[in-house]
Structure 1
Amino acid sequence: MAASPSPTPMRRRTHTPTPPSTTDAAPCANCWRGRDAAAPREKRGPCGMTAPDGIGGTRRTLGLTDLVLLGTVAIVNVNVVPPVSGFGRATLGLWLLAWLAFFVPEAIAVLVLSQRYPGEGGVYRWCRAHFGARHGFIAGWCYWTNSLLYVPVLLVYVAGVLTYAGGPATRALIDSRVFIGGVSMTWLACITAANIRGSSVGKWLNNIGGIGGLATVLMVAAVAAEARRRGVAVEVPEVAGTPADMLGALGVMCFAFIGIELASTMADDIRHPERDVPRAVALTGLTALVAYLLVADALLVMVPSGDMGSLQGVMQAIEQGATLAGLPGVVAPVAVLMAIAVAGSASAWFAGPARIPFVAGLDHALPEVLGRRHPRWGSPYVALLVCAAVSAVLTVISLAGSTVAEAYQVLLRAAVVINLVPFVYVFLAVLQLRDLSAPVRASAAIGLVVTACGIAAVFLPTGEVGNVVVFELKMLGGVGGMLGLGLWLFRQQ
């Protein structure tokens, strides 16, 4: 029997992929996922799309457990719990409401968009498909620049938590810029090297960090349980605080659940994205909710509600609770575990968003050099090195003199707004899809309203603001400056 003739090369080269639309369930069926102009020719499909088993030499190394731990280390930040826990038992209800109002809509939106537009890039890819190159770039730019500002905060926090690991003898190091800067820069170098080595190595930093975070939660809960057993637990009121304070705390709680979309920026590293991503989203969401509830409940029985606002961090709350329960020896191990958790979080928020400038480089929305992969390990090494350099500079700035540090704090507050801009695009993208069920569209509408309210709330001055006009001008300048820089870079390309 004669062999069947194969398609001619000319026919394969002349095929053009169909642009995604609001009704397409996936990119062109004849194309592989994840366009990568830097991939070897033999790795590409008929439309210049890279093969699913390796994008420019990469391997799919992330499984279900890796995704759950990545989501956990990205979302769970126990340091956010003390400032929003001064409302008695009502605090637990607020956490549940925040989970329903923001995490659930966000999770649904991420699942919808990641299934329709698979491939790395996450919010950048989704928003580009729906709103065009300019808006896609702005969404990706906001997500990336926010992470650039957030990673230095995590690096400094790792060093700060470690000062509790040695007891009173090392506590004074928290005021040492040499110690804080040294630890921060050392860990930045470590996460840069590990992630350049590829996700097969970098994922272990996330995994160990996720395990450290869960272990921290369990130890804090155990201290609270011991306080209850000894009968020294603080009496917890049903409700405390004012409705206005509760509303502000609810906003903080909502956005404490940001991070489930992070895995989508690294979608080309996931072994079975269609199967594992939905399961990982569900497991991560439940894990994050339980973790926040356990820590909030523990703090309620260890620290009086009226004292929550005076705490300078969760370690101070744990130290106070451990003393109350007669377990001062647990403070050091909890500090070590928390440092591991925050270190893993720094790695996750460093490596994931770095895929956005990488994909933007492939799309010529940023300099093409950012789209290069490492010839041996396949990692987006140029984008990672650029992120490392910017993070190093911002870390130094955050430790500089008071005037410079204050300017950095203004940028951090503006970054809260910048962080929420991509989610406005994400929820609007879901609402554009006409073939979705009414409950899915309703969840996107809820998420959009919550996000818009969160942006507005950031511009509301607190009681600590002396000059409201100056405060608003600084906020507008910070947000406008970051958005303007993004637009300028886009126009240059």
Structure 2
Amino acid sequence: MAGAAPHPPKVMGVADLAMFYVVTGVSLRWIATAAAFGPSSIVIWVGALTCFYLPFVLAIVELSSRYPQEGGLYVWTRQAFGPYVGFMAGWSYFTSNLPYFPSVLYFDAGNAIYIGGTSWLHLRESPTFFMTFALLALAFITMINIVGLRFGRWLHNLGAVGMWGPALIVIIMGALAWWNFGSATKFTPDAFVPVVDVQHMIAWSAMAFALSGAETASFMSGEIKDPRRTIPRALPIAGLVIVSCYIIGTFAVLLAMPAGEVNTLQGLIQAGAVAAQKLGATWIIIPLALLITLGNLGAASGFLSCTARIPFAVGIDRLLPPVFAAVHPRWGTPYVAILLQGGLGAVFCILGQAGTGVKGAYDVLVSMGIIAAFLPFALVFLAVIRLQGEPADTPVTRLPGGRVTSILSALVGLATTLAALILAAFPAPDEPNKLLAVIKILGLTAVLLGSGTLVYVLGQRAARRSA
């Protein structure tokens, strides 16, 4: 049922937006993933920053200044390549978050176990616990987002604290453990040289994906105060926090424990627990687990909030049934799109778990999320190149050097994105059933894209009939 207002209210300023970028840009699970590969992962972080994150941020700033309306990359790619490509970019990004929710909430569940101390540790290999936690968390953040950003932004802001707070605690504790007992990892020059094999290269694609998130707020431009000015101001503030958390956090985990002992589902809390035991400060483990749990809930809520705006924007364009363009009569939120996002996320939680253990489900969900997200990211870089000759209503924000700088930056980001797309299709080396993993990754990705084409065709027919 549509409300009186065609769009949700503008409520986000620079501080809110910077915190939103932090909560969607930092994912503590990637610190554990990186630390498991040793000191060379720090070099990979720097490479991902240079070859993906910076070009991506520059692309977002330029495109959001050209087209600041609600819809983000859906609007940008539609303007560059037409309605079908724009729809498929939005659809692919929307569906990339379906496996994202259960994967990030599985990580959250793995850390929440430590809230119960040693009495809950037996749940670490329980698929029932992980799935139940993910489904309940999805229901909670869906409800929060229906109420709207007036209240939901506070969960996002608390979630941002829950992201950099644990990283800061582990950094301090890792430094203290190193000062008192020495480093658990040997930081020799050879250890920083990246190993070029399939296992490590798969991790590289995940680390590049970890630095996405700059695109999120542009989906909600209609709810940002003066987005042309606010987005370029908030991104550098958030970027400094995001990059610091990843690089210094990885270093701190390796100070506390050897790379070979890091668990990708519980690595950060695991490192904090090891350092706490060395320092005789085990009391800090429970608050650390609480912060990590809160941070990941905030991140999942932030992504649900922004991606639900895609079917909302597509509904306004009449490529989806009109109900998707409806806003809640009381809270002014696109509640149908939010309910759809939460419900489909729950379905993927169940599908990802089928026929595998906890870690196998997590790896499949991560790979699907990377592929479905990097497809529209590639189109964003291509849109920057394509739109260079297009006139803009207002001055476009970009680096000195203008068109040449924008194209070169976009080409670097595009090359990195395409490489990450290929690598994400490989199953994890320790996956016992590699064929099933590949079938799940590629098969479910193909289903997502094929269903998008079907929805577009049906939407076009409905729009013609309506006209």
TM-score tier, shorter chain, comes to: 0.7 to 0.9
Bigger shift: 318-327 or 258-267?
318-327
Q: Residue 291 of structure 1 corresponds to which residue in structure 2?
A: 245
- Matching of residue 444 in structure 1 with residue 394 in structure 2: no
Q: Say whether the 8 Å CA contact 1:397–1:405 is kept in structure 2.
A: no
Q: Residue 63 of structure 1 corresponds to which residue in structure 2?
A: 13
Q: Residue 196 of structure 2 corresponds to which residue in structure 1?
A: 243
User: CA 1:294–1:204 in 2, change beyond 3 Å: closer, same or farther?
Assistant: same
Q: Residue 149 of structure 1 corresponds to which residue in structure 2?
A: 99
What letter matches 2:369 in structure 1?
A: A
1-structure distance, mates of 2:334, 2:228: 23
Report the number of matched residues.
Answer: 443
SS of equivalent to 1:261: coil
- After TM superposition, give the deviation of residue 59 of structure 1 in Å: 1.9
Bigger shift: 223-232 or 332-341?
223-232
- After TM superposition, give the deviation of residue 397 of structure 1 in Å: 4.0
| 1:265-414 pair list within 5 angstroms | 265-308=219-262, 313-398=267-352, 402=356, 410=364, 412-414=366-368
- Matching of residue 162 in structure 1 with residue 112 in structure 2: yes
2-structure distance, mates of 1:383, 1:205: 20
Q: Residue 488 of structure 1 corresponds to which residue in structure 2?
A: 454
- After TM superposition, give the deviation of residue 410 of structure 1 in Å: 4.5
User: CA 1:253–1:401 in 2, change beyond 3 Å: closer, same or farther?
Assistant: closer
Deviations 1:198-237 (A, max 9, x none): 2111111111100111111110111112112313332432
SS of equivalent to 1:352: helix
SS of equivalent to 2:307: coil
Deviations 1:235-281 (A, max 9, x none): 43233262336544433222110111100011111112122100111
- After TM superposition, give the deviation of residue 308 of structure 1 in Å: 4.0
Q: Residue 200 of structure 1 corresponds to which residue in structure 2?
A: 150
| 1:50-199 pair list within 5 angstroms | 56=6, 58-85=8-35, 89-175=39-125, 179-199=129-149
- After TM superposition, give the deviation of residue 79 of structure 1 in Å: 1.5
Bigger shift: 165-174 or 355-364?
165-174
- After TM superposition, give the deviation of residue 361 of structure 1 in Å: 1.0
- After TM superposition, give the deviation of residue 153 of structure 1 in Å: 2.2
Which structure shows the higher helix fraction?
2
What letter matches 1:129 in structure 2?
A: Q
- After TM superposition, give the deviation of residue 72 of structure 1 in Å: 0.8
User: CA 1:162–1:359 in 2, change beyond 3 Å: closer, same or farther?
Assistant: same
SS of equivalent to 1:56: coil
User: CA 1:237–1:468 in 2, change beyond 3 Å: closer, same or farther?
Assistant: same
Bigger shift: 223-232 or 337-346?
223-232
Bigger shift: 128-137 or 182-191?
182-191
- Matching of residue 230 in structure 1 with residue 183 in structure 2: no
User: CA 1:87–1:175 in 2, change beyond 3 Å: closer, same or farther?
Assistant: closer
2-structure distance, mates of 1:379, 1:277: 21
- After TM superposition, give the deviation of residue 323 of structure 1 in Å: 2.4
Deviations 1:355-413 (A, max 9, x none): 00111111121222111011222100111111122223333444566499978964653
2-structure distance, mates of 1:105, 1:58: 30
1-structure distance, mates of 2:126, 2:309: 34
User: CA 1:93–1:401 in 2, change beyond 3 Å: closer, same or farther?
Assistant: closer
SS of equivalent to 2:327: coil
2-structure distance, mates of 1:318, 1:202: 29
Question: Structure 1: any 5+ residue segments left out of the alignment?
Answer: 1-37, 41-54
User: CA 1:185–1:455 in 2, change beyond 3 Å: closer, same or farther?
Assistant: closer
Q: Residue 420 of structure 2 corresponds to which residue in structure 1?
A: 454
User: CA 1:310–1:156 in 2, change beyond 3 Å: closer, same or farther?
Assistant: closer
SS of equivalent to 1:58: coil
- After TM superposition, give the deviation of residue 77 of structure 1 in Å: 1.2
SS of equivalent to 2:216: helix
User: CA 1:186–1:461 in 2, change beyond 3 Å: closer, same or farther?
Assistant: closer
User: CA 1:248–1:385 in 2, change beyond 3 Å: closer, same or farther?
Assistant: closer
2-structure distance, mates of 1:178, 1:85: 28
Question: Structure 2: any 5+ residue segments left out of the alignment?
Answer: 390-401, 460-467
Q: Residue 394 of structure 2 corresponds to which residue in structure 1?
A: none
What letter matches 2:294 in structure 1?
A: I
- After TM superposition, give the deviation of residue 184 of structure 1 in Å: 3.2
- After TM superposition, give the deviation of residue 285 of structure 1 in Å: 1.2
Q: Say whether the 8 Å CA contact 2:59–2:384 is kept in structure 1.
A: yes
What letter matches 2:189 in structure 1?
A: E
Deviations 1:104-150 (A, max 9, x none): 00001001111111111111111111111111111000100111221
SS of equivalent to 2:211: coil
Q: Say whether the 8 Å CA contact 2:74–2:87 is kept in structure 1.
A: yes
2-structure distance, mates of 1:313, 1:251: 19
- Scaled by the length of structure 1, what TM-score is found? 0.82
Percentage of matched positions with identical amino acids: 33
- After TM superposition, give the deviation of residue 86 of structure 1 in Å: 5.1
What letter matches 2:171 in structure 1?
A: A
